[in-house]
Structure 1
């Protein structure tokens, strides 16, 4: 029993929130644009953050896990172990573990993601030289508050800058997905967007501390305006494919074996669910919980508790309104020049759950977003849905069980794309068949439109 308490105390000390100013913050890659802009946001507030090189340490990640973990756990664990191994080799005696902080967010609810940082703490502790490297995190439980990671005054402003950076990253992804399938010369879009991303990183560092978002908006508008000129107007519109699923797998190209590029290679145009969609959902759920607490306290006659909850409701409404306002500003600038896919509002997604008939926000998890988001895609004229997730992921398996019969009834092509790091010999055949079905759906939809 005493040993158990010691282990718990070690976890609490080694996985915590604390001021990371001046420490090298090691951030695992998820969406390439989004992670780099998050790191730039940290740098703007005095944290020398860096993106971990990804997927080179997968063998290490698998060596120190049992196989029962979610695949993203193995990838991120491999990333940090690979970095530390290479850093120790590079620096030799000058390697100082106290210079680093490992950043690994978490979520509440049933997803195993909530335990990644605890498990990885245990693994790092197996190496005496890594025990002094703390793990810090943000959590969906408090809508990713950064309280504790930065001084109080900076923390408030950092969260707003980081949110705008996430929306800009989403928009830059959507610029790529709209332009690249129709580019006049292969590679033109990717080369330009890498330069654009570097410019946006510098702009975030320069203007983030003063929250001069107009400078960021000007830049993203210029990026969209330039990228639009790369499109060949003679190329016909492709079937639109919507991707939903687990947030890490659908956002991390190496883990999903570059499924977006493969779908494009087989004739599709892709839109992946955004990162801001998840951030907005977490904020929306925080508001729902505050409203429920307020109502329950009022019914019990606990007026002081009800008042505190009511203040939380007002605060969260203001925060959600701020996020919506900023998101509309960014998309509005880009839509002046390029018809990227607008993002789904969380209320819009909940509407497509049909009064909880298909699923309920009360159950939570990413399944709520994936099911509602897939149905929203169909309403917007998409020709196929891909559900990307780690093998054995519970929310995405639920999503598959709900979506398959719904989309079969509506004759919408649908495919599950589970991943665990292994090669799937029939994957190409499945995707090619799926794209053929999507093309047929696009033709049938166009024919119906012409005759109606």
Structure 2
């Protein structure tokens, strides 16, 4: 039986396939959800759902309908779908029900959907013959997610500055194939990443061009997807002359651990001994997870950014948003906005969410105060509905123009402070070609990549 899954970036889904095949599973990631999937989702789901529901549920139903239309039989016996489950105020908690309703109405009454709780990681439907949620499963999944995060991070760092068109895309494809084979065959991932790093070193970039750095945050699906669900926001920003900063899926995993620790502390009076054991286990898990992330970062020369501290994000957000309101991205949208500006990580922040997303709407309600307290940061919140691309992008462009001006002014100021001219830059590159290597790690004093690259010449 083939196991279907999906919902993350193409890099994550591809690497998860390698990790699961090593465990003996026959798996296949679904295509990136598009607007056709949205239409199918709206046809078969209940009314009033958020776009991620329509996109993800519609994507599965669309895939199965295409199989049926091609003449394939016994679909319900050949395939099973696995996804994360949840509970709480976010409509993500209703996804499982929507999958089952849509599948039934589309003529797949007996199609199996297997879920595991985000917070508890327990099987909700007995499907042991198809999938076993054990230690090996979650460890393999964890590694694939981390590797996907690291490749995406580096890709968006070099893509805006590539000298040869599509060379960054070729590097990414080759790197994913190397890591896929390592995951599938149980080879050393550290060694595989070192091979990826060598290929990155040979990628030619020109960092000395001021581009605004734009952080993409918001509701999990809307900020993560690479398709119509957020109007291909990251790719479009590159085309418009910006450097997008995407959020690692690993941040979400650490957020779940952090929230579980807080929840356990609050309920500790029921059974202090058990609460202590749970908290200790969760902290140990977080140390292991973060250590693994940093170990793999090291193989890439520490070029990918480290994970943000969940404690710091909560401290930043606490003044504006109750950290115990844990639906959706919770306080992280506020915390990330403050973090990116305070730590000189971005010129601009875009918060993307589906129409009517309650948790994101709540965080948007305090962002105006955050902007004021940060001294006028560039922040824009946009809602995606699948049919308002021109309106969303025109709103982003207005702020992006200001971000471009900030990046240019910062670059000129940095050249003046460091007493560096354009002639000095060209001379330095001629003397040291490694300054055009995609694998070089830049120091950090300014926001823009171009300004920080100047520090290499001092």
- Are 1:61 and 2:25 matched, yes or no? no
Structure 1: 5+ residue stretches without partners: 1-22, 298-304
- DSSP-derived class of the 1:192 partner: helix
Residue 391 of structure 2 is aligned to residue 426 of structure 1: yes
TM score, norm. by length of structure 1: 0.84
TM-score using structure 2 length: 0.83
Selected match of 1:135 from 106, 113, 116: 113
Consecutive aligned runs of 4 or more in structure 1 exceeding 4 Å deviation: 145-154, 443-452
The residue aligned with 1:262 is 236
What does the per-residue CA deviation read over 1:327-374, in whole Å, with 9 as the maximum and x for residues that have no partner?
1111222234xx333321212312322xx2122321223131111112
Question: 2:61, 2:106 within 8 Å by CA — same for their partners in 1?
Answer: no
The whole-number CA distance in structure 1 between the counterparts of 2:245 and 2:204 is 17
Match of 2:257 in 1: 283
Q: CA deviation at 1:146?
A: 6.3
2: CA distance, partners of 1:37 / 1:102 = 17
Structure 2 match to 1:18: none
Q: Does residue 351 of structure 2 align to residue 387 of structure 1?
A: yes
SS at match of 1:79: helix
Residue equivalent to 2:294: 328
Secondary structure of residue in 1 paired with 2:85: coil
Alpha carbons 1:145, 1:159 under 8 Å: kept: no
Q: CA RMSD in A?
A: 2.4
Change in Cα spacing, 1:287 to 1:146, as seen in structure 2 (3 Å) is farther
- Paired residues of 1:98 and 1:133 also in contact (CA < 8 A): yes
* Cα deviations by residue, 1:198-255 (Å, 9 ceiling, x for unpaired): 2222211111xxxx6xx21222233234224324336424221111111111111111
Where 2:230 maps in the other structure, the secondary structure is: coil
SS of the residue 1:360 aligns to: coil
Contact 1:27 1:39 in 2 (8 A): no
Q: Do the aligned partners of residues 202 and 82 (structure 1) sit closer, same or farther apart at CA in structure 2, a change above 3 Å counting?
A: same
What pairs with 1:178-327 in structure 2 (closer than 5 Å)? 178-207=157-186, 215-233=188-206, 235-254=208-227, 255-294=229-268, 296-297=269-270, 305-327=271-293
Give the C-alpha shift of residue 326 in structure 1.
0.7
Partner of residue 47, structure 1: 25
Aligned to 2:449: none
Q: Which residue matches 1:30?
A: 8
- Find out whether 1:345 has 2:323 as its counterpart: no
1:102-161 CA deviation, whole Å, 9 max, x = no partner? 123222221001101112202212244x1221111122231x356976699971122112
Matched, 1:85 2:58: no
Q: Is the 8 A contact 2:231 2:389 kept in 1?
A: no
SS in 1 for 2:97: helix
Q: Which moved more, 1:438-447 or 1:130-139?
A: 438-447
Work out whether residues 150 and 297 of structure 2, in 8 Å CA contact, stay in contact via their aligned partners in 1.
yes
Which secondary structure does the structure 1 equivalent of 2:321 belong to? coil
1:177 to 156, 159, 163: 156
Contact 1:138 1:145 in 2 (8 A): yes
- With over 3 angstroms needed to count, the CA separation of the structure-2 counterparts of 1:66 and 1:122, relative to structure 1, is closer
User: Shift of the alpha carbon at 1:66?
Assistant: 4.9
Q: Distance in 1 between matches of 2:413 and 2:390?
A: 37
CA distance, structure 2, for counterparts of residue 252 and residue 226 of structure 1: 26
Where does structure 2 lack aligned partners over 5 or more consecutive residues? 419-458
* Contact 1:146/1:155, CA 8 A, preserved across alignment: no
* CA apart distance, 1:166: 0.7
CA distance in 2, matches of 1:79, 1:439: 36
Paired residues in the alignment total: 409
SS across alignment from 2:352: strand
